[in-house]
Structure 1
Amino acid sequence: MRDALALVLLPVPLVAAVLPAAFAGGGTRRWFGGRGESQRADAQAAKDAAAAAFYELDSAQRDLRISIETITAVDSSPAARRAVDDFAELGRRIDEVSHRYIEAVDAHDLDRDDLEASAAARARTQLTQAKDELTRAKQDLDRFAQGLGPLLDKAETQLARLAPAVERARQTLLAASTALDAVRASGLKADDLAARLAALGPELTKLNQGAGRHGVAETLQRADRVARDGDAVRAEAERLPERAAEIDRRLVSLRTRAQALTTRAEQVEPILSELRRRFTTNCWQDLQSVPTQAAENVRQAETKLADARTARDEQRWPDATALLGTVRALLNATDEAVSAAGDRLTRLNAVSKDPEQEIQRTRFAIRDAQRLAMAGRNTADPRHARPLDDSVARLDRAIATLEGRHPDYWHFLTETESVRQTVARVVAQIREERGGGAARGGGAA
């Protein structure tokens, strides 16, 4: 009791001197206020700033790692691989900086009661250095992230395409299946289309397994391929009824044409008889085989038509289409040969009655070309004048063949036609050289 009373009666300065020591011995700070507390506060502020910098760097690194994973999931180009390597190198530098920051934090307990002012100052210095290193690392990371822009945009674009592409492939296959069912319901087999659609089944299974198993790029390619092939099956299935109807129409049309050509081919022999009777051998000799060849072509065409009918009945559409193409080619050749005989007689009749019309037509073409060659010039270019002069001589020689008892009118017609073709080439050459500006003189037909 006396001790307590004596303590109360001590002078005030002495109490002030004893209290700090008592608090220090009882687990409170050994010093209070003044420059020491300021050093502790500065150190704590440096620690907080370093912690904020560390958090920002860690968050940026996590975000950038997601970007890198996005790129690698889609892109295997050299630029993408280089970005991965550069990010790994940055990661190693960030680990070193982070390790020094953690060491600085662990080395200084700013909450210690007996923290010296010098220790607080050292802590502040080291933590500030750690913060500066973390900030520089964050800046490097930001610059690296900016450089990733094009690669990341490309990758994100592909990822954005992924789900719609897969869904489009699924819907395309569904539409193809629906179209195929409708065709079969109408009585058409469409076995080849069914086989093509069935072949896409394993591809759909892989699409359903997802990009995580097969990769984004491969899945996108597969989705596009399935959509394209499925859409082709759907389109062909929808066209199949029309295709069958078209084949039916062509079968009827080509059969009618073959019958008509059979009748026309029978008329070739009387035409040849008249040619033999009225004109020289050179005028008709090349047509001698037309009747035999026409009959053979028609016979082959009818055989192919029967094969095409069988293919159509069996719904072998490609075979039917190919056979009908062969029939058409045979009938076209027959038509040309039969028409050639009739045209030959018509032209020979005309020229034998009045060769002057053919002569004047050719002379006009030559004169027309000569005027064009001289347009704007005192003398014609030898490259143009020579073939035109030769054409004049050729025409004169062709006219001379008409003299005599048995003129070769066919030689005359082929020669004058050849002359006009030569003249037409000269005219085209002149106009090309003059840039199409020389329109005078008309055309040489």
Structure 2
Amino acid sequence: MPRAHRPRRRLPRTPGPLRDALTLTGLPLLAALALPAAFAGGGTRRWFGGRAESQRAEAQAAKDAAAAAFYELDTAQRDLRISIETITAVDDSPAARRAVADFDALGRRIDEASRQYISAVDAHDLDRDDLEASAAARARTELTAAKEELGRVKQELDRFTDGLGPLLGKAETQLARLAPAVERARQALLAASNALDSVRATGLKADDLAARLAALSPELTKLNQGAGQHGVPQTLERAERVTRGAEAVRVEAERLPERAAEIDHRLVSLRTRAQALTTRSEQVDPILSELRRRFTVACWQDLQRVPDIAAENVRQAETKLAEAHAARSEQRWADATALLSTVRALLNTTDEAVSAAGDRLHRLNAVQKDPQQEIDRTRFAIRDAQRLAMAGRNTPDPRHARPLDDAVSRLERAIATLDGRHPDYWHFLTETEAVRRAVSRVVSLIRDERGAAGH
């Protein structure tokens, strides 16, 4: 927006004859001005009365006030333009785009008010010697109107500026984060590089980590090119992404010696466990022989393949252990870790199968010797649930009473299976366990309902 320059106020020119007289007499100007009016001749300034000078003074005051309003508006517009540029550098949201459009519209209003002011200034020369009172009055009126219009536009600009607060605050926050974020990214990359150098100095390879760090180099190049080329939000996001990636590389590099030692320990531990399971699995056949001899087929039929499964699992575990050892020697850490996890899963499955055979014999021996202990345990669970269902009630809720009654009937049927010549003790045990699980579900339902009612 163009600035209007206030014309410098000129002092009245000294008339030619008077200037010549001063030259001839050698008198100073101020002293000569005090000479008698005889010097006032042709070409001298027209002197008006007090009213004309008063109008000139009022017009000049209006001009000064309009100039002050003009410069105040111009300064505010410049400040606002900086705020808008700050927002557009960071924010491309619909709200930011609306703010730019509104600022452009406001700029047109400012231009109109400025043209009115400049036109008023250019139309009136308040320093004219022959300025009439009516001309001075018109100048004052037009300059005052221009000042008031500038003031109204300034108020609009102030309201618009106040409304930019949230957008500007967000933009300034992001700009304030920019330099620290980029610096953090650079420092994270440097720390990761130093960590890799330290690890390699111990003889460990970290090729995968080095490759991940090298992949961040193009991102660092873009960070160095700056937000002016790539945008503030994109640069912030890139800096955070580089920081996370480099930090992950650094942490893994620093942990690599510990990871190698952990893999070595797991190799030894799992190999020892595989050997122990081989010994234990050899004891399954004698257990199965005793189960076959003393109990019905239903008590051991599902365990028939345990020896074969255990042997196959141990064989696979030993193969995977050898592969894990080779991966460790080649410092393929991820492969070694994955293979050791597979070995652990195979050995866990084998351990459960081998343990199941021994546990089965132990439980069947106990129930064959004294089934009453299992019966009492199950009846106690049912009675405890029945007391809970009746607490604070005259009659139980059918949703609770029905499954508890079913549990009583099911237990009685399971007890009846023990009366035969060759009782199926395993069926009896699985039935009592199922009854206790059903009762436990009823207890949980009652407690949940009462807890919800209490709230």
Question: What's the TM-score once normalised by structure 2's chain length?
Answer: 0.90
1:74 aligns with 2:90: yes
Q: Give the deviation of 1:377 after TM superposition.
A: 2.2
Match in the other structure for 1:233:
249
Distance 2:362 2:251 in 1: 50
1:290 touches 1:337 (CA, 8 Å); kept in 2? yes
1:291-334 Cα offsets, whole Å, 9 max, x none, are: 00000000000101111111111111111111111101000000
Match in the other structure for 2:219:
203
Match in the other structure for 1:149:
165
Q: Residue 130 of structure 1 is aligned with which of 142, 146, 170?
A: 146
Within 5 A, what are the aligned runs for 1:260-409? 260-409=276-425
Match in the other structure for 1:441:
none
1:68 touches 1:84 (CA, 8 Å); kept in 2? yes
Distance 2:88 2:204 in 1: 49
Match in the other structure for 2:134:
118
SS in 2 for 1:401: helix
Deviates more, 1:72-81 or 1:390-399: 390-399
1:298 touches 1:334 (CA, 8 Å); kept in 2? yes
Match in the other structure for 1:87:
103
Which aligned runs of 4 or more in structure 1 are off by greater than 4 angstroms? 15-21
Percent identical: 82
Q: Give the deviation of 1:435 after TM superposition.
A: 2.0
1:105-132 Cα offsets, whole Å, 9 max, x none, are: 1111111111111111111111111111
1:369-401 Cα offsets, whole Å, 9 max, x none, are: 222222222222222222222221211111111
Match in the other structure for 1:443:
none
SS in 2 for 1:119: helix
Match in the other structure for 2:47:
31
1:98 aligns with 2:101: no
Match in the other structure for 1:8:
none
Distance 2:402 2:232 in 1: 70
Q: Give RMSD over aligned pairs.
A: 1.6
Q: Residue 107 of structure 1 is aligned with which of 102, 123, 136?
A: 123
Q: 1:436 to 1:50 in 2, by over 3 A?
A: closer
Counterpart amino acid of residue 252 in structure 2: E
Q: Give the deviation of 1:344 after TM superposition.
A: 0.2
Counterpart amino acid of residue 122 in structure 1: R
Distance 1:114 1:373 in 2: 113
Distance 2:133 2:83 in 1: 45
SS in 2 for 1:138: helix
SS in 2 for 1:402: helix
SS in 2 for 1:122: helix
1:428 aligns with 2:449: no
Distance 2:41 2:164 in 1: 61
Within 5 A, what are the aligned runs for 1:210-221? 210-221=226-237
Distance 1:290 1:398 in 2: 28
Match in the other structure for 2:29:
none
Deviates more, 1:125-134 or 1:368-377: 368-377
Within 5 A, what are the aligned runs for 1:160-199? 160-199=176-215
Q: Give the deviation of 1:436 after TM superposition.
A: 7.7
Distance 2:292 2:147 in 1: 113
1:258 touches 1:298 (CA, 8 Å); kept in 2? yes
SS in 2 for 1:113: coil
What is the aligned residue count? 421
1:365 touches 1:423 (CA, 8 Å); kept in 2? yes
Q: Residue 45 of structure 1 is aligned with which of 55, 61, 66?
A: 61
Distance 1:107 1:425 in 2: 97
Q: Which runs of no fewer than 5 residues in structure 1 stay unpaired?
A: 5-14, 439-445
Counterpart amino acid of residue 103 in structure 1: S
1:101 touches 1:130 (CA, 8 Å); kept in 2? yes
Q: Give the deviation of 1:21 after TM superposition.
A: 5.1
1:28-54 Cα offsets, whole Å, 9 max, x none, are: x32245211111111111111111111
Distance 2:170 2:411 in 1: 72
Distance 2:149 2:167 in 1: 28
SS in 2 for 1:175: helix
Q: 1:118 to 1:20 in 2, by over 3 A?
A: farther
Distance 1:380 1:126 in 2: 96
SS in 2 for 1:377: coil
SS in 2 for 1:380: coil
Q: Residue 61 of structure 1 is aligned with which of 51, 62, 77?
A: 77
Q: Residue 140 of structure 1 is aligned with which of 142, 150, 156?
A: 156
Question: What's the TM-score once normalised by structure 1's chain length?
Answer: 0.92
Counterpart amino acid of residue 126 in structure 1: E
Distance 1:241 1:200 in 2: 24
1:226-257 Cα offsets, whole Å, 9 max, x none, are: 11111111111111111111111111111110
SS in 1 for 2:451: coil
